[in-house]
Amino acid sequence: MFFEGSEKKVEIAVRPGSRSLRELGEEYWAEIVAQSNATILSRVTNEECDAYLLSESSLFVWDDRFLMLTCGTTTLVNAILQFLGTYGQDNVSMIVFQRKNEYQSHLQHTCFEQDIVALDKIVTGKAYRLGHLDAHHNYVYHLDAPFTPPEDDKTGELLMYHISGPVAEYLRSEGQTREGIRERLQIDALLPGFAIDDFVFEPYGYSLNAIRGGDYATFHITPQENSSYVSFETNLTTDGENANLFNQILQIFCPKSFDVISFNSSPVISVPANVNCIGHYAQRLECGYDMVFRHYLETVDQPLPAEQML
Amino acid sequence: MFFEGSEKKVEIAVRPGSRSLRELGEEYWAEIVAQSNATILSRVTNEECDAYLLSESSLFVWDDRFLMLTCGTTTLVNAILQFLGTYGQDNVSMIVFQRKNEYQSHLQHTCFEQDIVALDKIVTGKAYRLGHLDAHHNYVYHLDAPFTPPEDDKTGELLMYHISGPVAEYLRSEGQTREGIRERLQIDALLPGFAIDDFVFEPYGYSLNAIRGGDYATFHITPQENSSYVSFETNLTTDGENANLFNQILQIFCPKSFDVISFNSSPVISVPANVNCIGHYAQRLECGYDMVFRHYLETVDQPLPAEQML
């Protein structure tokens, strides 16, 4: 029943004057997605963005950039290599490739070290290992080229582990429905005016893409007891207008542990007294992003799971 | 500079009337050790026990049981299989095989699941995954056969991560000596009357075996910044006579995080106010041991390391 929820993520921007990424069409992107061992399930589109829901996470395509997230044992690096090879690496102005700590990293086809060796054969980048390896940590690679992100290019990631409470129970139950999940996640209130595309996996698991103009948000839920993981990511300004967004989501999932990762943004987090931030880093990426990580934990003595394997 | 300090561990007892394990001789044990990709460096011996210091950890041999710990990317399961094949699995009354969470599990030759599949072809056991996979956790396998441990068969393990303070500094420094390390670890005070055998690795790293009658203690130190790990293990009664032993060792290494694992023992731990036990499990192993795990953490917001990889 184990499924690796932790995502690999890439964001790539192309040079002004390059061919529109949306014009490349669904067939092109289906081939890129296939390189990571995922497939396109469905699509929602508006005037600025095509959002693809994948068998393993999401792909958002704007004219001048795309964002791809994949979980499980997908090989996202192969999708990146395929894109660089077919679109032309000289047409690319920014790459940020990120891997989060996995529950079971030994089941992955490649490790981050191997991924960056493969990338470095084609482009020149910098890479960091951030955080303690025996706790939540991140790997990040970026193209070693100056880049000035647009003013509104802010990203917030909320990564939740060991979810609990009634919504977690529902997500692990039989007979759950798309409508039942949307209602419990309070999607209408959290993401007003967004076009929604979502999918309920068998026997568990839920993915949601949401777009509104150039804004996006995405949920990926792996509810399995003992290895639950829920990610939420958005370019909404979680420090201004939507300052309470992450806190609302935390109240829905009641995670025992969570991470907040931000790029040029400072999501506001207010937590109960028994939840503490027990580690942080702030890494200035020379490609124009301030990456900040904060690791939160319920610091009470919890009974830990014992799972019989044999 | 990365070295995986986390150990794999096996303890095997043989049936009364079986051939003495010590009588098998150093050549026999050298072959067992070789199967795990380690070698014997030195030996200290007394009337009850032969203690071998290994290139990667330790082997203690009594007449009726042995204990082997190996770290790095060793393949301890192969040593167990070699022992069972040559000594005869029918002569064995107890096996407990344990793997701790590794800093970089994807660099190991096998995972625990593969190890227990290999063991299960020869013997019948039970196995558990204990703890959250995204935090410190353990795997344990035991022979599925009734066993009554002797009254004095108590084990305590103290596993320390992210050591700090003057002793940690010294252990990472150039020009360290065996005497310098023994003095800073206060070996004479911690382990009075024990025969000591120790080794300083290049450029860092220290292992120590200590025996006194049937008592043993062993230290293994991987001091590398960002992936430091120190293990201490003993069959001294850390809840009675030596109740302060683990606390003294904690004061020497000042770890930011540590685990206490015990078998039929309850080590006394007293910690500063900013260190909290944030998880525990107690698993009754049907082969006669109560295994208890406690995970402690300094629950203050710490700046986390950022290591440039490229």
A144 confidence band (pLDDT: 50, 70, 90): very high
Query: What confidence tens digit (pLDDT) does each residue in A213-227 have?
Result: 999 999 999 999 999
Given a contact cutoff of 8 angstroms between Cβ atoms, the answer to whether B116 and B28 are in contact is no
Residue A237 confidence (pLDDT) above 90: no
Q: Rounded to whole angstroms, how far apart are CA atoms B96 and B75?
A: 16
Residue B301 confidence (pLDDT) above 80: yes
Across the A/B interface, how many CB contacts are shorter than 8 Å? 153
Domain count, chain A: 1
Cβ pair A106:B103 closer than 8 A: no
In a domain, B159, yes or no: yes
B289 confidence band (pLDDT: 50, 70, 90): very high
In a domain, A3, yes or no: no
Nearest to B128 among A106, A257, A309 (CB): A309
Task: Kindly list the residues from chain A whose CB atom is less than 8 angstroms away from the CB atom of residue B1.
Answer: none
Q: What percent of chain B has pLDDT over 70?
A: 100
Cβ pair B301:A280 closer than 8 A: yes
What is the average pLDDT value for chain A, to the nearest integer? 96
Nearest to A303 among B104, B281, B307 (CB): B281
In a domain, A2, yes or no: no
Nearest to B163 by CA among B36, B298, B280: B298
Cβ pair B299:A299 closer than 8 A: yes
Task: Kindly list the residues from chain B whose CB atom is less than 8 angstroms away from the CB atom of residue A302.
Answer: 278-280
B206 confidence band (pLDDT: 50, 70, 90): very high
Q: Is B257 an annotated catalytic residue?
A: no
B241 confidence band (pLDDT: 50, 70, 90): confident
Task: Kindly list the residues from chain A whose CB atom is less than 8 angstroms away from the CB atom of residue B134.
Answer: 101, 103, 136, 161, 257
Query: What confidence tens digit (pLDDT) does each residue in B64-73 have?
Result: 999 999 999 9
Q: Rounded to whole angstroms, how far apart are CA atoms A309 and B24?
A: 34
What is the average pLDDT value for chain B, to the nearest integer? 96
Q: Rounded to whole angstroms, how far apart are CA atoms B210 and A17?
A: 71
In a domain, B225, yes or no: yes
In a domain, B305, yes or no: no
Task: Kindly list the residues from chain A whose CB atom is less than 8 angstroms away from the CB atom of residue B289.
Answer: none
Mean pLDDT of B77-102: 98
pLDDT computed for residue A199 by the predictor? 98
pLDDT computed for residue A1 by the predictor? 80
B128 confidence band (pLDDT: 50, 70, 90): very high
Give strand ranges (E) for chain B: 8-14, 40-45, 50-54, 57-61, 65-70, 92-100, 125-130, 138-143, 155-161, 195-200, 206-212, 215-222, 229-234, 257-263, 275-285, 289-298, 302-303, 306-308
Instruction: Please give, rounded to a whole number of angstroms, the shortest distance from the CA of B166 to a CA of chain A.
Output: 21
Q: Is B31 an annotated catalytic residue?
A: no
B interface mutation test: which of A134, A222, A287, A290 has the most B CBs within 10 A?
A: A134
Query: What confidence tens digit (pLDDT) does each residue in B275-287 have?
Result: 999 999 999 999 9
In a domain, A89, yes or no: yes
Mean pLDDT of B138-149: 97
Residue B120's domain comprises 8-298
Cβ pair A307:B129 closer than 8 A: yes
Cβ pair A304:B137 closer than 8 A: yes
Mean pLDDT of B119-129: 97
| CATH number for position A255 | 3.60.90.10
Task: Kindly list the residues from chain B whose CB atom is less than 8 angstroms away from the CB atom of residue A162.
Answer: 132
Nearest to B301 among A125, A278, A304 (CB): A278
Task: Look at A268 and A78; give whichever has higher pLDDT.
Answer: A78
In a domain, B303, yes or no: no
What does the H/E/C string look like for chain A?
CCCCCCCEEEEEEECCCCCCCHHHHHHHHHHHHHHCCCCEEEEEECCCEEEEEECCEEEEEECCEEEEEECCCCCHHHHHHHHHHHHHHHHEEEEEEEEECCCCHHHCCCCHHHHHHHHHCCCCEEEEEECCCCCCCEEEEEECCCCCCCCCCCEEEEEEECCCCHHHHHHCCCCCCHHHHHHHCCHHHHCCCCEEEEEECCCCCEEEEEEECCEEEEEEEECCCCCCEEEEEECCCCCCCCCCHHHHHHHHHCCCEEEEEEECCCCCCCCCCCEEEEEEEEEEECCCEEEEEEEEEECCCEECCEEECC
In a domain, A308, yes or no: no
Task: Kindly list the residues from chain A whose CB atom is less than 8 angstroms away from the CB atom of residue B293.
Answer: 304
Cβ pair A161:B134 closer than 8 A: yes
pLDDT computed for residue B240 by the predictor? 73
A241 confidence band (pLDDT: 50, 70, 90): confident
Q: What percent of chain A has pLDDT over 70?
A: 100
B126 to chain A: closest CA residue: A310
Cβ pair B308:A130 closer than 8 A: no
Nearest to B306 among A226, A283, A300 (CB): A283
Residue A228 confidence (pLDDT) above 90: yes
Q: Point out the residues of A that are catalytic.
A: 4, 7, 57, 71, 207, 220
B110 to chain A: closest CA residue: A106
Q: What is the ipTM of this complex?
A: 0.92
Mean pLDDT of B207-215: 97
pLDDT computed for residue B238 by the predictor? 77
Comparing A122-131, A231-240, B70-79, the range with the smallest average pLDDT is A231-240
Mean pLDDT of A87-97: 98
Task: Look at A238 and A308; give whichever has higher pLDDT.
Answer: A308
Mean pLDDT of B191-220: 97
